[in-house]
Amino acid sequence: MPLRSKTVLINAEIPKRCDVLVIGGGPAGSSVAALLAKQGVEVVLLDKVAHPRPQVGESLIPHFWKYADHTGATPLIEKEGFVAKAGGITVWNGKIHRIAFAEFGFTRPALHVERDVFDELLLKHAESLGVQVFQQVAANTVDLSLESPKVCYVDRRGNDVCNGRIDCRFVIDASGPSALLAGQFKSKRLVDTRMRFLSLWGYFKHSRFVAADGRSYPATDIGKTRPVTFVTSFKDGWIWHIAMRKITSVGLVINTNRARAMDKAGREQFFLETLRRAPYLDRLLESAEYQEDSFCERPDYSYYSTKLCGENFYCIGDSASFVDPIYSHGVLNAFYNANMTALAVCESLKDPARRVRHAQLCENRIRQFYGFSRSLALGEFGGDGVDAELVRRFMRQVPPVELELMLAASSMSDRSENFHRLVADAGIDLAPSQSRVHFMEELQL
């Protein structure tokens, strides 16, 4: 089915009611909307901005393909021709390690994607399945006190700004870090100060990139040689380098306290100076051209909500939680949450008497994935919305090849102690995965 232009509904009237109202058109919102529409559910999606829009999080691990298969977006992603990556290389506390996805049995590649292109592709796919998509329409309040939730919005399409309301049977909040429902519930919590991070990033043209052989290649070779996601640690945090088709995303993640006293200009200066001093990265960026207006920041990376699902609402993706993104779990989290939520909503529509039970089961699954990401990305966790037993149960359900890759990846950043313990507590034997983490003496950049 051909994708519709985003201008199709620019002047269309927003319906007064629907089965499901999705707030947000990122990967979580687009995916849950597509999955529901495939089941014949009437879905309306509101996004406060117009796509394509800038977004960070360009690295996708191979796990995402199974979710793309579920929504039917796989052919579109393949046709777009995003950069296929070979694996990852880390320089962590002076130690260099490499993993290759093919060695774990993955037959489809991980990707480096331009998120504005990728996200719009998913949104258009949802629209092609029958989802009514309205961009530049911002949901601002949700009344869940009645049998049918009421969502008030501001419509900024065209020249006039007007207010409206839509009634629905279920609301799915996929509004990202703005977390509309968590704001209403006052349920958003920041994690322990020691584990609280922010990110600073920007984009470069003509940057060299690192391949799986540990050598660097010019930007013009991006279609000939597969890059890796390159990560290097520094005193205050870690840095990513993600080569795409025309530009390279480079960002650093640091503890919030490190940058608290800086204004935006000071943070940008700190960002650029840190890149110039970082091991190996200085060589990759030596002839690169920094895009002056590309600097962005996102504070308080690590948070969670204490209230995720109820009889008529669901919070998914970044509106539910987010942790240190070192292992590219952000988009994967969105896809997983979308699949679990679509299943719960469909079952609730069939049997409304059990909708509270379906919501509870879905919330447990979302919390499981959050806890799994925390155990993987951070060297320790406890409390902060994490139930260790839920995480262990989740690990037992993850296909071994996926868990092996995650365990290997965690070993590359000296953050694997907690993850190893949870794996052992769950009675899972993944020792062979360590043989697929390759130590490298040097990089030839």
**Residue 4: its pLDDT value, please?**
37
Same domain, 93 and 132: no
Higher pLDDT pick, 380 / 332: 332
392 in any annotated domain: no
Q: How many CA atoms lie within 13 A of 338 on its CB side?
A: 35
Which tens digits make up the pLDDT trace of 321-368? 987 777 788 899 999 999 999 999 999 999 999 999 999 999 999 998
Q: How many CA atoms lie within 13 A of 40 on its CB side?
A: 3
Q: Rounded to the nearest 5 degrees, what angle is found at the Cα of 115, between the Cα atoms of 111 and 116?
A: 145
Same domain, 153 and 169: yes
State the DSSP H helix or E strand holding residue 230, giving kind and residue range, or none if neither.
Answer: strand 228-234
Confidence of residue 397 (pLDDT cuts 50, 70, 90): confident
Same domain, 124 and 247: no
Average pLDDT over residues 309-319: 97
User: What is the C-alpha to C-alpha distance for residues 240 and 90, in angstroms, rounded to an integer?
Assistant: 9
* Phi/psi-derived region of residue 81, left when phi > 0, alpha when psi is between -120 and 50, beta in every other case: left
Residue in the block written with tokens 């949901």 = 139
Buried-state track 37-57, b at ≥16 Cβ within 10 A, e below 16: bbeebbbbbbbbeebbeebbb
Residue type, 306: T
Same domain, 203 and 272: yes
Average pLDDT over residues 34-54: 97
Same domain, 41 and 150: yes
Q: Are 59 and 242 in contact (CB under 8 A)?
A: yes
Which tens digits make up the pLDDT trace of 243-295? 999 999 999 998 888 888 889 899 999 999 999 999 899 999 999 999 999 99
Same domain, 122 and 264: no
CATH of the domain at 150: 3.50.50.60
**Residue 373: its pLDDT value, please?**
82
377 in any annotated domain: no
Same domain, 324 and 256: no
User: What is the C-alpha to C-alpha distance for residues 211 and 206, in angstroms, rounded to an integer?
Assistant: 16
Q: Are 154 and 137 in contact (CB under 8 A)?
A: yes
User: What is the C-alpha to C-alpha distance for residues 136 and 160, in angstroms, rounded to an integer?
Assistant: 12
CATH of the domain at 228: 3.30.9.100
- CA distance readout (Å), 365 to 30, 101, 165, 179, 407: 19, 26, 31, 19, 20
Same domain, 41 and 138: yes
Position 416 pLDDT exceeds 70: no
DSSP string covering 77-98: HHHHTPEEE-EEEEEETTEEEE
Same domain, 204 and 155: no
Domain that holds residue 269: 85-107+192-298
Q: Please count the residues of the chain.
A: 445
261 in any annotated domain: yes
Number of domains in the chain: 2
- Global pTM reads 0.93
Residues 6+ apart with CB under 8 A from 134: 9, 12, 14, 44, 45, 46, 47, 155, 157
CB atoms inside a 10 Å sphere around CB 383: 8
User: What is the C-alpha to C-alpha distance for residues 325 and 229, in angstroms, rounded to an integer?
Assistant: 13
E strands, 113-195, in order: 132-135, 137-143, 150-155, 162-173, 188-190
422 in any annotated domain: no
Buried-state track 95-130, b at ≥16 Cβ within 10 A, e below 16: ebbbbbbebbebebbbbbbbbeebbbbbbbbbbbbb
Position 154 pLDDT exceeds 90: yes
424 in any annotated domain: no
User: What is the C-alpha to C-alpha distance for residues 168 and 407, in angstroms, rounded to an integer?
Assistant: 42
Position 376 pLDDT exceeds 90: no
167 in any annotated domain: yes
369 in any annotated domain: no
2-16, 65-79, 124-138, 333-347: the lowest-pLDDT one = 2-16
What average pLDDT does the structure give for the chain?
90
**Residue 385: its pLDDT value, please?**
63
170 in any annotated domain: yes
Same domain, 35 and 122: yes
Cis ω on the peptide bond leading into residue 149 (within 30° of 0)? no
Same domain, 281 and 185: no
Same domain, 247 and 286: yes
Average pLDDT over residues 37-66: 96
Q: Rounded to the nearest 5 degrees, what angle is found at the Cα of 38, between the Cα atoms of 154 and 27?
A: 55
